[in-house]
Structure 1
């Protein structure tokens, strides 16, 4: 059995394109923190906790060494949203050639969706994509930030990117095998 999946590719080509979300109230307990000591364990936790119910499966088979090699690349950063000390979601940035930064993963743990965390996390993460080279000597300053999302992602994903100033530059529709959502851990 297969399903039809539409993938949208979006971009910003200037820091001025970013339309930030309204910051949360001071009492909300929301903080965005860079994970400065990247570990495969924590990165895989975020990946499965956020993507387990929306069928993120491409990294599930990665062995520890592949996670570590990816995380050790210059210009790979993970920014985590915390709500009163609990991880609520994350945004993963990946520097590419010629000043391009991909938002390789972005999302919220299901319990935090619909609580106005996503817009703020995307705003802060996109701003960090624009100033990525300031933290990584030797990287070309950012000239373009891009991301893709698909119809399997949350119902507000595409609109969130557009509200933050991302412009659509590509759309493709494909048939994919229907895969049951793996959940955040094996057997979930």
Structure 2
């Protein structure tokens, strides 16, 4: 089993957020998917994560997946280029004012085009104002994310460039699962 380094980062104020220097080109937009389905969520997850062997959600049933993405405070923001999805960011907010960026990434063909900084900056902005879209949620006081040595080589640098600061680093042996396999498991 390879040793995997997991780095956890956070921001404690929206004032720490640094925008991307790039601008969203014509034909591109970032928008929230208000009525996300498990199928679309899994499509995004696999389209981005299969390259990086994301496999933690693959054993979930459709119902388990739906429960995660439809709970209060859960939001999916998609980067669209010329009508097609190009990447996404999934948020998990808590009523206590903490938001985790659970998943973030681009489709493989979109890497290296400057979209990562744009999507992360916009997604982090949406994390900071998540409480304005969810009744009973306290104002956000912390946004956090984790990345690991299996993720894209620019991931950690992108988080730091947007203003996230490291608060924990862990190393552990971890089995790497081939994320290109698996459909909906039996209930």
* 1:124-143 map, 5 Å: 124-143=122-141
Distance in 1 (CA, whole Å) between partners of 2:97 and 2:25 is 34
- For the residue of structure 2 that corresponds to 1:90, the secondary structure is strand
- For the residue of structure 2 that corresponds to 1:126, the secondary structure is helix
RMSD: 1.4
Q: Give the deviation of 1:97 after TM superposition.
A: 5.0
* Aligned 8 A contact 1:30 1:117 in 2: no
Mapped pair 1:89 → 2:87: yes
Mapped pair 1:183 → 2:180: yes
Q: 1:22 to 1:61 in 2, by over 3 A?
A: same
* Aligned 8 A contact 1:33 1:79 in 2: yes
Structure 2: any 5+ residue segments left out of the alignment? none
- For the residue of structure 2 that corresponds to 1:79, the secondary structure is strand
Mapped pair 1:6 → 2:1: no
Q: Give the deviation of 1:102 after TM superposition.
A: 0.2
Q: Give the deviation of 1:6 after TM superposition.
A: 0.3
* Aligned 8 A contact 1:10 1:170 in 2: yes
Name the count of aligned residue pairs.
183
Q: Give the deviation of 1:185 after TM superposition.
A: 6.5
Distance in 1 (CA, whole Å) between partners of 2:181 and 2:22 is 29
Answer with 115-124 or 92-101: which moved more.
92-101
Q: Give the deviation of 1:13 after TM superposition.
A: 0.2
With normalisation by structure 1, the TM-score equals 0.93
Mapped pair 1:103 → 2:101: yes
Structure 1: any 5+ residue segments left out of the alignment? none
